[in-house]
C-alpha cells in the first residue's frame, strides 16, 4: 500500500505508516527492502476518477531501462479497468526488477516482482525481447483483477486463473500491438504443451491438490498454455464478446472474495445460455487431447474419427473410449469461411469435395491435431506452393499444418519422409513464425538422429542449409531503418540455422563480423538481433579458446541483462572438451547467479559431447546439487530435462532408470517420468524410420549411395540398436490405433514400456470430488502432481513385480548378447536359440501383463487416497468459513483473508502458505527460446 504518514523520531529513525491493506489472500503479500531507484508515471484517471501512480523500481543505474515496461503498465491498468468495468482497486502499482529472482515474475498485489531481464529493456534488446516483456508484464497486471481481486477457492483452481491471465494478456497485446499477429504466435507457443500433453505422464488441466506442498509441481505448461488454449477454444465457440460479458459478471459477483472453476462456468452459462460446464469439464478433467483422422470415402464424402493422441503411437483400446466435444471449424476451397460444427460422437460423416483442398481447425483455435490422407495433404501443399490461398490459409493455419504433420511423424502415424516432402511446399514461405516452426521441427529431427552415422546427420543438416540459405541471400545481413521487425526476426533466424547447418559463406561472414565486434563493440557489425546467431555460429565452428574467451569477457563487461543472458547461454555451444568442461565449471561458479545457471547449461545438449558431459556431471554431483537447490523445484526439473531430455537410445534409457532407482525423486518425479517417456518416443521413432529417412535423403540428392553402403557395413559389424528393426531379429506389431507398423524387439520390451505406466483418463481424482456424474476412473493413474507419483518412485522400484521384470530383462539381455557374439561361430544352433528367445519373449510379455495389472491396483489405491485427502481439505475449509476452530496442523487455503498487515504476515508464516514463486510462461521459457526448444 502507499505511505500514509512519516514521522521523524528523536533517535534519528523514521516511523513510516502505510495505508491499511484491503482484504486479500496471504500468498499475495510482499515487502521489498533494498537500495533501489525508480521512475514513475500516472494513468489518466478517465475511468477510475483519479490517476493511479505506477512506478518501476530497479537497482541503481538501471531504472531508466524500465521505461518500456512502465508505459505498458500504465496502458494495461487503463485497459483492464475498462475490460472488467472495475477500476484498479489499489492506489498504486509498483513493478520491481530483482537481480537474483528465481521465478520470472510474481503477481503480488500492487507490488509485482520480476527477474531483471524479464522487465528491463535497453537499446540493444531484440524485437523478441520486446514481445516477451510485453506478454510478461501484461500477464501479471491482469492478475491484479483476475487472481487478486477475485482469488481461487483452492489450489485446484490455479489453472483457471493462470490460463485466463495468459489468454487475457494476448487480448491486450493484440490490442496494443496489432501488427505483431500475436494469435499466430500463440499457436506456435501452444505446440510445446501439445507435445507435453501427448505423453502418458501428462495430467489434466484441473488437478486435485491435497496439500500446498504439491502446488509447485502443477505450475507447468498444462496449467498455463493448455488452460489458455482451452479458454481460447471456448471463446471461439461462444464468441469473444459473449465470453467477456460473462467474465465481467463473474468479477462483479465474486470480487473481494473467492471463487472456483464451476463458479465461472455457471456464470458463463447464465450469460451465454450455453452448456459451458459440460463442454469445459470434458477438456479440463481429461488428460490429453484427440487427433482427428480423416478418411476419404469417395470424392464427396469423408469420415472423421476422433481418438486419443499419444506421442508414442501405441494407444491401448481401453485408453481410447473418451469423447471430446470438438469444434471442427471446417473450411473448404468452395467456402473458406469456417463452419462451426461441433463433433460430439466418436465418428462423423460429412459431405466434402475431396478433389479440392479442405482444412479442419481453421484458425487453429482448437486444441487437437488432424491427420489427413496423403492426397488431402498434397492438395493443401500444392495450394500453398501456388500461392493461391495465402490470404485464406493464414499464418496460424500454415503453422498448424506443419506442426500436426511433424507430430504425427514422431508418433508413427505417418513416415518421416512425408514431413520432409511437405517442407518442399514451404520453400517460398515468407512468414517468420512459419519458418520458426520449420526450424524447430528440423531440430527435433536432428536431435533424434544426432548420434547416427555422420553422413546421415550431415545430409539432414544439408536439407536445413538449403532451406535457410536462400532466405539469407534474399534478406542479407543489413537492417534497414524502419524495417518491419518480423523481417528482422526472419533474417536472424535464417542466418542462425543456415550457419548452424554449416553453410560456408554464412560461417565466414559471421566470423568476420565477430572479429570486428570484439575489437571495438561495433554494433553495426553485429546488430542486437544477430548477437546470438553470430556468437553461436562462431563457437560451433571453432575448437580454439580465443573466441570462447572473448565471449566470456563480454559477459563480464556488459551491464545489459539481455546481453548477459545471450553471452552466458551461447557458452554451451563450445565445440571442444575443454570448452564444455569450462562451461560446466563457470555455470557453477560465484560469477553466475543461481537464477542464471540453467541458461549456461541449456545449450550443452546441442552436441553429442555436450550431452555426455552434462549427464556425467549430473550423476557425479547430484547429491550436492539436489541438496543445494532442493527448495527450487524449477531448477531441479530443468537440470534433469537438460541432462537427459534429448537421449534417444535404449542404453541411455537404462542408464537413467538405473541412476534414479535409489534416489529420492519425490520432488521431481513428474519431469523424470516425462523425460523417460520422451526418450522412449525418440527410440521408437528412430527404430521405425531410420531407413525411411535414409532412402528419402538418397532419392532427393542429399545423401550419396556410397554413404548408404558405408552405413550398411557399419550396421552389420555392430550389435545393439542397429539390428533391432530387422525382420529376422524382431517381430512387427500393428497397433490398433496407429496406421503404421512398428518393430518391437523383445530384448528392449521393458525399457520401452515405462515400467508398465498406464495413462489416466482423468489424471488425478478431482472428478470424484467435483463431478461424480462425469467421473471416469478406469485404470486410473494419479496425476504427476499428486503425492503418489506416476513415475517409478522408490517404493515402486521395491515392488516384487518390478523386481521380477528387471530380473527377466537382464536375463534376456545376457542371452541376447551371448547369442549375437557367437552367431557366426555357431550358426548351426541358430534355430534353437531363436526358439529360446521367443520363449523368453513370451514369458516377458506374460510377466509384463501381470505387472500392469498389479500397477493398476496400486494406482487405483493411490487415487482413492488422494480423493480422501482432497475431501478432508474441503471439509476443513468449510469448517474454517463457518468459524470453527481448527487444529494447528490444518493448512490454510489461498482464500484465507485478513485485514491487519502484521496478522497476515504471521498467518502466512505459521499456516504454511508461501508464494508459489512462479514465473510466467514467457519468462520461464526464455532459456529454451534462446537455445532452441530442442537445441541441436
The residue among 106, 167, 172 whose CA lies nearest residue 138 is: 172
For the question of residue 924 being annotated catalytic, the response is no
Helical axes 561-570 vs 546-557, angle rounded to 10°: 160
CA 551-554-557 angle, to 5 degrees, is 155
Question: Considering 107, 132, 140, 271, which one is annotated as catalytic?
Answer: 140
- Residue 707 vs residues 316, 465, 672, 702, 704: alpha-carbon distances, Å: 39, 19, 37, 10, 5
Residue 270 is labelled as binding a ligand = no
Contacts of 318 (CB under 8 A, 6+ apart): 778, 779
Q: What is the dihedral of CA 82, 85, 86, 92, to 10 degrees?
A: 0
Instruction: Please say whether the beta carbons of 489 and 495 come within 8 A.
Output: no
Q: Which cell numbers in the block locate residue 483?
A: 524495417
| Residue that the C-alpha cell 496460424 belongs to | 396
How far is 698 from 388, CA to CA, in rounded Å?
Answer: 31
In 309-458, which ranges are E strands?
326-327, 331-332, 342-343, 347-351, 358-359, 369-371
How far is the C-alpha of 389 from the C-alpha of 336, rounded, in Å? 9
Residue 139 labeled ligand binder: yes
Radius of gyration of the chain (CA): 28
Strands (E) across 19-136 are located at: 24-25, 36-42, 53-59, 92-98, 105-106, 111-115
Task: Return the number of other C-beta atoms located less than 10 Å from residue 191's C-beta.
Answer: 21
Closest CA to 108 of 207, 172, 32: 32
Cβ–Cβ < 8 Å for 474, 466: no
Backbone torsions φ then ψ of 793, nearest 5 degrees:
-75, 180
Distance CA 66, CA 561 (A): 12
Residues 6+ apart with CB under 8 A from 476: 491
**CA 525 – CA 791 distance, rounded (Å):** 50
Which residues are known catalytic residues? 140
List residues forming the annotated binding site for Zn(2+): 139, 143, 162
List residues forming the annotated binding site: 139, 143, 162
Amino acid at each position: 500500500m502507499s505511505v500514509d504518514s512519516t514521522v521523524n523520531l528523536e533517535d534519528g529513525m523514521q516511523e513510516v505508516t502505510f495505508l491499511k491493506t484491503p482484504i486479500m489472500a496471504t500468498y499475495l503479500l510482499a515487502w521489498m527492502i533494498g537500495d533501489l531507484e525508480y521512475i514513475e508515471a500516472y494513468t489518466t484517471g478517465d475511468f477510475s476518477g483519479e490517476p493511479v501512480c505506477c512506478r518501476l523500481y530497479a537497482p541503481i543505474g538501471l531504472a531508466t531501462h524500465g521505461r518500456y515496461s512502465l508505459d505498458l503498465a500504465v496502458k494495461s491498468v487503463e485497459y483492464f479497468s475498462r475490460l472488467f468495468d472495475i477500476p484498479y482497486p489499489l492506489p498504486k502499482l509498483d513493478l520491481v526488477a530483482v537481480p537474483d529472482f528465481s521465478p520470472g515474475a510474481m503477481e503480488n498485489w500492487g507490488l509485482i516482482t520480476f527477474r531483471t531481464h524479464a522487465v528491463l529493456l535497453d537499446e540493444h534488446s531484440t524485437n523478441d525481447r520486446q514481445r516477451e516483456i510485453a506478454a510478461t508484464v501484461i500477464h501479471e497486471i491482469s492478475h491484479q483483477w483476475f487472481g487478486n481481486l477475485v482469488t481461487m477457492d483452492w489450489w485446484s483452481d490455479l489453472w483457471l486463473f493462470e490460463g485466463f491471465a495468459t489468454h487475457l494478456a494476448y487480448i491486450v497485446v493484440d490490442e496494443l500491438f496489432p501488427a505483431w499477429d500475436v494469435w499466430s504466435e500463440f499457436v506456435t507457443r501452444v505446440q510445446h504443451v501439445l507435445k507435453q500433453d501427448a505423453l502418458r505422464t501428462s495430467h489434466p488441466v484441473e488437478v486435485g491438490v491435497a496439500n500446498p506442498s504439491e502446488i509447485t509441481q502443477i505450475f507447468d505448461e498444462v496449467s498455463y498454455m493448455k488452460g489458455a488454449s482451452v479458454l481460447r477454444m471456448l471463446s471461439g465457440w461462444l464468441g469473444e464478446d459473449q465470453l467477456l460479458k460473462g467474465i465481467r459478471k463473474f468479477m462483479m459477483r465474486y470480487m473481494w472474495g473467492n471463487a472456483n472453476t464451476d463458479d465461472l462456468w455457471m456464470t458463463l452459462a447464465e450469460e451465454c445460455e450455453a452448456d459451458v460446464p459440460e463442454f469445459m469439464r470434458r477438456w479440463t478433467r481429461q488428460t490429453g487431447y484427440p487427433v482427428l483422422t480423416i478418411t476419404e470415402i469417395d470424392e464427396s464424402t469423408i469420415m472423421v474419427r476422433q481418438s486419443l493422441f499419444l506421442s508414442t503411437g501405441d494407444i491401448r483400446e481401453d485408453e481410447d473410449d473418451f469423447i471430446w466435444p470438438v469444434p471442427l471449424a471446417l473450411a473448404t476451397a468452395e467456402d473458406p469461411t469456417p463452419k462451426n460444427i461441433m463433433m460430439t460422437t466418436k465418428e462423423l460423416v460429412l459431405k466434402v469435395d475431396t478433389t479440392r483442398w479442405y482444412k479442419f481447425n481453421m484458425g487453429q483455435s482448437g486444441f487437437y491435431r488432424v491427420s489427413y490422407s496423403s492426397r488431402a495433404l498434397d492438395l493443401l501443399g500444392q495450394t500453398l506452393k501456388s500461392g493461391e490461398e495465402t490470404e485464406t490459409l493464414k499464418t496460424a493455419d500454415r503453422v498448424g499444418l506443419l506442426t500436426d504433420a511433424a507430430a504425427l511423424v514422431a508418433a508413427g502415424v505417418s513416415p518421416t519422409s512425408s514431413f520432409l516432402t511437405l517442407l518442399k511446399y514451404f520453400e517460398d514461405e515468407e512468414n517468420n513464425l512459419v519458418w520458426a516452426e520449420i526450424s524447430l521441427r528440423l531440430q527435433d529431427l536432428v536431435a533424434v538422429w544426432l548420434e547416427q552415422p555422420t553422413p546421415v546427420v550431415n545430409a539432414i543438416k544439408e536439407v536445413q542449409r538449403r532451406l535457410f540459405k536462400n532466405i539469407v541471400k534474399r534478406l542479407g545481413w543489413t537492417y534497414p531503418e524502419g524495417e518491419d521487425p518480423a523481417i528482422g526476426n526472419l533474417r536472424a533466424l535464417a542466418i542462425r540455422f543456415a550457419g548452424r547447418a554449416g553453410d560456408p559463406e554464412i560461417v565466414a561472414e559471421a566470423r568476420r563480423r565477430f572479429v570486428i565486434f570484439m575489437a571495438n563493440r561495433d554494433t553495426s557489425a553485429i546488430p542486437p538481433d544477430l548477437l546470438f546467431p553470430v556468437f553461436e555460429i562462431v563457437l560451433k565452428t571453432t575448437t580454439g579458446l580465443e573466441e570462447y574467451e572473448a565471449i566470456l569477457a563480454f559477459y563480464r563487461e556488459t551491464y545489459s541483462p539481455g546481453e548477459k543472458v545471450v553471452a552466458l547461454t551461447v557458452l554451451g555451444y563450445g565445440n571442444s572438451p575443454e570448452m564444455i568442461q569450462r562451461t560446466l565449471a563457470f555455470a557453477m561458479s560465484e560469477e553466475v547467479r543461481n537464477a542464471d545457471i540453467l541458461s549456461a547449461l541449456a545449450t550443452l545438449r546441442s552436441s553429442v559431447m555436450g550431452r555426455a558431459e552434462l549427464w556425467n556431471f549430473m550423476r557425479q554431483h547430484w547429491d550436492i546439487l539436489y541438496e543445494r537447490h532442493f527448495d527450487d523445484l524449477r531448477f531441479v526439473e530443468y537440470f534433469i530435462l537438460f541432462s537427459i531430455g534429448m537421449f534417444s537410445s535404449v542404453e541411455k534409457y537404462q542408464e537413467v532408470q538405473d541412476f534414479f532407482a535409489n534416489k529420492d525423486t519425490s520432488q521431481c518425479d513428474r519431469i523424470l517420468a516425462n523425460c523417460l517417456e520422451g526418450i522412449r518416443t525418440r527410440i521408437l521413432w528412430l527404430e521405425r524410420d531410420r531407413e525411411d529417412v535414409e532412402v528419402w535423403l538418397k532419392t532427393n540428392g542429399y545423401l550419396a549411395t556410397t554413404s548408404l553402403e558405408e552405413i550398411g557395413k557399419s550396421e552389420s559389424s555392430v550389435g545393439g540398436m542397429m539390428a533391432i528393426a530387422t525382420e529376422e531379429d524382431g517381430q512387427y506389431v500393428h497397433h490398433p490405433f496407429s496406421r503404421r507398423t512398428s518393430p518391437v524387439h523383445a530384448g528392449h520390451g521393458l525399457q520401452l514400456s515405462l515400467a508398465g505406466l498406464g495413462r489416466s483418463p482423468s489424471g488425478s481424482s478431482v472428478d470424484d470430488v467435483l463431478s461424480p456424474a462425469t467421473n471416469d476412473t478406469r485404470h486410473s493413474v494419479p496425476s504427476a502432481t499428486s503425492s503418489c507419483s506416476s513415475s517409478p518412485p522408490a517404493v515402486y522400484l521395491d515392488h516384487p513385480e518390478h523386481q521380477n521384470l528387471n530380473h527377466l530383462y537382464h536375463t534376456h539381455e545376457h542371452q541376447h548378447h551371448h547369442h549375437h557374439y557367437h552367431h557366426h561361430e555357431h550358426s548351426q544352433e541358430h534355430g534353437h536359440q531363436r526358439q529360446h528367445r521367443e520363449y523368453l519373449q513370451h514369458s516377458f510379455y506374460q510377466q509384463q501383463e501381470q505387472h500392469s495389472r498389479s500397477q493398476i491396483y496400486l494406482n487405483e489405491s493411490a487415487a482413492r487416497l488422494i480423493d480422501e485427502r482432497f475431501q478432508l481439505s474441503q471439509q476443513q475449509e468449510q469448517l474454517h468459513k463457518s468459524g470453527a476452530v481448527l487444529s494447528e496442523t490444518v493448512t490454510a487455503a489461498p482464500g484465507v483473508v485478513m485485514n491487519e498487515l502484521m496478522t497476515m504476515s504471521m498467518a502466512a508464516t505459521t499456516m504454511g502458505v508461501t508464494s508459489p514463486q512462479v514465473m510466467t510462461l514467457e519468462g520461464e521459457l526464455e532459456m529454451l527460446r534462446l537455445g532452441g526448444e530442442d537445441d541441436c
